[in-house]
Chains A and B, each alone.
Chain A
Amino acid sequence: MRRAFVAWVALVVLAAISLACSVAGVGGVAVAFGIAAVKAVVVAAVFMELADRPFGLRVVLAVGVAMVALLVGLATADVGTR
């Protein structure tokens, strides 16, 4: 539980940093999504205990994330290069 509590504190601090950056106009979209990605990793690794799961389960999630990156990345590239 101590690790989960530390993770929760880290998540709250990261969210506060993300909010502060947005209000101050620092960093833009890349920083906001970068911090979101770090928070998602913390939730997956600690709250969902993915770090301790068998390899097979981690592969399932990795494939899902890769597909999301492919879809969003290529959709953006398509519009951006027209």
Chain B
Amino acid sequence: MSVATHFADEAQQAHAARLGMWVFLASELLLFAGLFALWAGYREHDPAAFAAEVRRTDLALGSANTFVLLTASFAVVAGVRVRRRLGFSVAIGLGLVFLALKAWEWRDHVREGLVPGRDVFWTLYYAATGLHALHVIVGMTVLGSVAAMRRPADHVVENAANYWHLVDVIWLFLWPAFYLARA
């Protein structure tokens, strides 16, 4: 990989790229933190009504997606450490499974009249899961691009993988917020 003129050497360039990615990931956390703050505030306001709406989300599909994303993250690790193209391809496939299950859920909810704007809970549900689904699509695109590269630098592969892991971590918190908090 060529070194840009403002870097002394390849190691410094790689360190800057890694640091930049972590700062970006931290800013992504803050993006979702706004939605979690709204969730926590509204739930605190009326816990019983909020739990009643949580009981209407699809626990089976939401939970299946948790296992899908955890496994996709493991595939990404295998991609970084063993076989990049195979690992990343499996993760992209699991990303597609995640999106298909999510679309199935949304379709069922819309048919029941549970649409954005119905009340605070459902607006938040679609905003949070929609924003997350968008991140899954971006993650799949990033993994696909890096898988297609002939010889990507180590830090490029790691940065792509870490973006995917962050998307996984965010889901780990969306899951209890919108599926598990039923009481």
Contact = CB atoms under 8 A, between A and B. Distances in A.
Interface in A1-40: 1, 4-5, 7-8, 11-12, 15, 18-19, 21-23, 25, 28-29, 32-33, 35-36, 39-40
11 contacts: A8-B71, A15-B63, A18-B180, A22-B182, A28-B183, A29-B183, A40-B169, A57-B19, A57-B22, A76-B37, A79-B44
Contacts of A22: 59, 176, 179-182
Q: Which of B22, B29, B158, B172 has the most CB of A within 10 A?
A: B172
B13 interface: no
A72 B165 contact: no
Question: Which applies to chain A's interface (DSSP): helix, strand, loop or mixed?
Answer: helix
A43 B172 contact: yes
Interface of B: 15, 18-19, 22-23, 25-27, 29-30, 32-34, 36-38, 40-45, 59, 63, 66-67, 70-71, 73-74, 76-78, 81-82, 158, 161-162, 165, 168-169, 172-173, 175-176, 179-183
